Every structure is written in C-alpha cells, then in structure tokens.
Amino acid sequence: MKRSVLFFFWFVISTQGYAYDFEIDGIFYSIVSLEDKTVSVVSGGNETYQGNIFIPTQVVYNGKTLSVIKIGDWAFMKCNITSIQLSEGLLEIGAEAFSECNNLKEIIVPNSVLTIGNNAFSNCKNLSYVKLPNTLKYLGRYSFYQCYNLRLHSERLPSTLAVINSGTFKSCGQKRISIPNTLETIDNAFDNCRLNYLKIEDGENTISLGAGDVYSSPGYDRYFNGTFTNCKIDSLYLGRNLVYKTGKERDYGYYNNYETPFYKNDGIKYLNIGISVTNIPTFSYSSINVIICQSEKPFEIDAGTFSNSTYAGAILYVPIGSKSLYESSENWNKFFNIQEMDIKEMNNNSEYKKCDTPIIGYSNGKLTFNCSTEGAVCNSTIKDSDIRSYKENVIQLGVTYSISVYATKNGFADSDVANATLCWIDVEPKSEGIINNVAQVKANAVLIQSDNGKVTVFGIDNGTNIVIYSASGHLIGSAKASGNKSSIITNLKRGEIAIVKIGEKSVKVVMQ
C-alpha cells in the first residue's frame, strides 16, 4: 500500500512538468519525440527561471540537433521572469505555461505557434503587451484571465480562430476587440473585461454567443457569467446575426431561460447595426444616444428591444429613402427622432474615433506631451532606473527615465501608447567632481524613441556618433547626428533590447 501511495505521489509531480531530460544554458528540456528530434521547454524542478529568457529554435545535445516545438505545461509558472523571447518554429504554448508571472510585461508569440493552452497567461498582473500570430488556431480557456493591464497588439482577433473559449479574456484590461467574420462561437469569454468598444464584423453567417447562467439566492447578489457581462461597452458594432446559448436562472430549483449576452452593459451609447443583420438582442437596460441601422428595410423588433429613454432621446439614422418605412414599421415607429444618412457616411461613423498617439518632448527640464486630438488628456507613467544601493567601491552613475503616455477623451477610444527613454549624457566627465560638497556635473538631456524598428535620438550635438547594438553585441546600425537628432532603421522587433551608444555613453532601450 505504501508503495502505491509513493508511486502516485511521484506520478502527480512528474505530470506537473518537473521532470526534464537535459539542461542547456539554464533552460530545461524534455524530449517530445526521438524520431522527430523535438523537445519541449519544461520546469527545472527546484530551479526557478529568473530575469531575461531566450528560447532558441534549436538546441544541440550530445551532438544531435533538436527542434524546440513547445513551451510545456507549467514551464514558467510563478517564475520571476522579466522578459522572454520566443523563436520561430515553436508550435505550442502549454497550459499555465506563464501563469502568475507577475513581472512579465510583454510577449510576442511567434507566427509558427498554433495553440495556446488553458490559463497560459492567467494572472499575469503586469502583462501589458501581447502580439498574437495571425495563424493561431486555438486559444485556450482563461488564457488571459485577470491580466488587468492587457493590451493586444491588434484589437482584431486572428481570423484563423473558430472559437473563443470560456474565460479567455475574463477580468482583463483589453479595451477594444474586433471579432472577425470567420469566428463561429464565443463562449463566456469576456465576462468583466474592461471592453469599451466591440465590433462584430459584417458577415452572412451567424455567430453563437454563450448567454451563461444567473445564480441567485436570498441574501446574495445575483451572479451572471454571460459572454459580455459587466464589460461596460459604450460603442457596439453588430455586423452579424447572433444566436444565444440558452442560460438558466437557478434559484432553489427554479429555472428561467436567460438570453442576454450583453447583460449589465447599461453604458452602451453608440450602436451600429450592419446591413445583413435581421435580429438584435435586447437593449432595454441601456440609454443609447445614437443608433445607425444600415438596412433599407426595417426588420422586426419587440417593443422592449430598447428602453423608453432610448426611444424618446436617441437619434435613429437610416439609409436615405427609407425613413418612411421605419416610421410606419411597428416598434421602430416609437423613435421620436428618425433621420436619413448616406450609407457611406454611416460606415465612416461606424465606431468611435481613436485618439492620436501623443508626441513626447523634452526641453528646459520639462517633459511635454502633445496629442493632436483636440481636448484629449495625456496619461503618463514615468519610471526611473537610478542606482539605489551598491556594495562596490566604483559605481558607474547614470540617470535614466522610462516614459510611457497615452491619450484619452470622452467619446474616443484610447490612443496607442507612446514610449521614450530620457537620459543624461556627460559632457565633460573627466573634469567633473565634487567641490565644496557640491557636485559639478555637465550633462545634456537626451530623449530616445523607438517605433517599429526605427530608433530616433533627440537633443544631441551635431556630429555625435550614434551606434546601435543588439543585446548580444551585434552591430545593427550607426549614424551621425544632424539637426540635433539622428534616426536609424533597425531589424529589431518590439520587445527586444537595443544598446544605443551615444558618443561614449551606452543606454539600454526596449524596442517599441
């Protein structure tokens, strides 16, 4: 009996990814197939991954070249990793592979990846940038659960996905989502997500949404877990007909069908209904300001489809020449204000506009943020990397600030995030010193920005040499400053580290 218990205990541990076959450069691997010469990255038992991690396409072990095709289940779970670079050739990211990696901020998933497992990035509290491949076939349940700061590189989900599973984006920070017309099913995937804009793209085929269940009992709040429950969407584009999975209300044996995928989205102010849509869900809980209906022929709606305040206060825009049809159609005729609009203009106004990305500037000791969207407010975060404490006799001093800013405005979607690095370059380091207990330092403030591989350095003297290296020390590009700035095109990708050498001073910059 004791033997069986011990065996069972060993089996549970081994299935959690702690067994490995070999280790190279601090990464632990398990063989997937000897015949195909493939391996998976796994946890190293009592070893804990930390810092910056690089996963190669291939490894060589005992003279054999092996392809890395998977990040195994639980491989980096709860590890203190700050960045990870995944290489092309990877096919799968396993279940809970990066779960609870709270210091992980960015990840670029290679185009070769087809599958992301359940809970792969769940509870990554500071994960703020994710690039998903357009070839992705499967996105597991609760993949980004409670990723409160999540921002996807593209708000449009991969068109290769057929299903979005339950909890995929539950309680995450993503604010804008576009659902491609190839997607067939969305289970209860966005419950409590911070969505403020949702677009279900135009298409002839229906899309199935999970309505979820309502759980209620005396003394407790009613709990509902529908597809877009509590998302607080303010702008909604419906381009396809919706089919709801029937939910139930459970109250001590009492069941009542519940079919509202947008439950508790009472903040919807802007609704655009595509030309091929012939039925819509109930919005009786919302006070919508603007409705655009692109169909020339009004389809049937119930009296309770919209609230009384919407019927009385909203503007209903319809195609030119169809106003009389809507005014004579049952329940559409309840709208007080029906106006005609050109279809092309409708489409141009099919979503809230997006704030322009702010421009970061520095002059005379002050940072400035400028957004060309009138009335937009810039929201900035500044982090410093000054030396706090040291246990050595010689310290290389340097002051560097990492700056990020985005613009917001009511009625507009948030802008993309602009990033920059502000640092000070010594002008005469050999003549500097401390005189009468006062530091004598001559330095120029330099602002470094990167955008899609382009690195621009502002505030430098004309003729200053600018050289860029990769994190591995390879020369990427060089130039001389002209007009107090210099720009260099690189092949570095977002999330990679660039070493920018300005004269004799080197600064690390994360590519954006």
pLDDT at 112 over 70: yes
The pLDDT confidence band at residue 2, using thresholds 50, 70 and 90, is very low
Secondary structure letter of residue 14 according to DSSP? I
Q: Whole-model pTM?
A: 0.67
How far apart are alpha carbons 261 and 200 in whole angstroms? 13
More confident residue, 350 or 69: 69
Phi, psi for residue 3 in degrees, rounded to 5? -60, -45
Choose among 85, 14, 64, 6: nearest CA to 43: 14
Mean pLDDT of 88-92: 96
Choose among 369, 407, 510: nearest CA to 453: 510
pLDDT at 14 over 50: no
Which of 2-6, 314-318, 368-372 bottoms out in mean pLDDT, i.e. has the lowest? 2-6
pLDDT at 137 over 90: yes
Q: What is the mean pLDDT of the chain?
A: 81
**Domains defined along the chain, listed by start:** 20-154 (3.80.10.10), 359-510 (no CATH)
User: Facing residues of 408 across strands?
Assistant: 377
Residues contacting 297, CB < 8 A, separation 6+? 322, 325
CA angle, residues 221, 225, 227, in degrees to nearest 5: 145
How far apart are alpha carbons 507 and 460 in whole angstroms? 14
Q: Where are the beta strands (DSSP E) in 201-262?
A: 207-210, 214-215, 223-224, 235-238, 242-245, 247-250, 257-258
The pLDDT confidence band at residue 67, using thresholds 50, 70 and 90, is very high
Interstrand relation of 207-210 and 185-186 (parallel, antiparallel or unpaired): parallel
Mean pLDDT of 216-236: 68
Three-state secondary-structure class, residue 317: strand
The pLDDT confidence band at residue 392, using thresholds 50, 70 and 90, is low
Residues contacting 464, CB < 8 A, separation 6+? 480, 481, 486, 502, 503
More confident residue, 250 or 45: 45
3-state secondary structure 115-153: EECCCCCCCCCCCCEEECCCCCCEECCCCCCCCCCCCEC
More confident residue, 169 or 254: 169
Residue 275 near residue 202 (C-beta atoms within 8 A): yes
More confident residue, 80 or 363: 80
Residue 255 near residue 248 (C-beta atoms within 8 A): yes
**Tokens 């929201």 -> residue:** 379
Q: Give the model's pLDDT for residue 224.
A: 53
Q: Give the model's pLDDT for residue 47.
A: 61
Q: Give the model's pLDDT for residue 430.
A: 52
Residues contacting 492, CB < 8 A, separation 6+? 453, 470, 476, 498, 511
Mean pLDDT of 81-91: 93
Secondary structure letter of residue 87 according to DSSP? P
- Strand order of the β-sheet with 185-186 is 163-164, 185-186, 207-210, 242-245
More confident residue, 292 or 388: 292
pLDDT at 239 over 90: yes
Which of 81-85, 366-370, 473-477 bottoms out in mean pLDDT, i.e. has the lowest? 473-477
Residue 375 near residue 362 (C-beta atoms within 8 A): no
The pLDDT confidence band at residue 353, using thresholds 50, 70 and 90, is low
Number of H helices, E strands in the chain: 4, 41
Q: What is the pLDDT of residues 453-510, one digit of tens each?
A: 788 888 777 888 888 888 777 788 888 887 777 888 887 777 678 888 887 777 777 7
Q: What is the pLDDT of residues 315-342, one digit of tens each?
A: 999 999 999 999 999 999 999 999 998 8
Q: Give the model's pLDDT for residue 152.
A: 92
The pLDDT confidence band at residue 85, using thresholds 50, 70 and 90, is very high
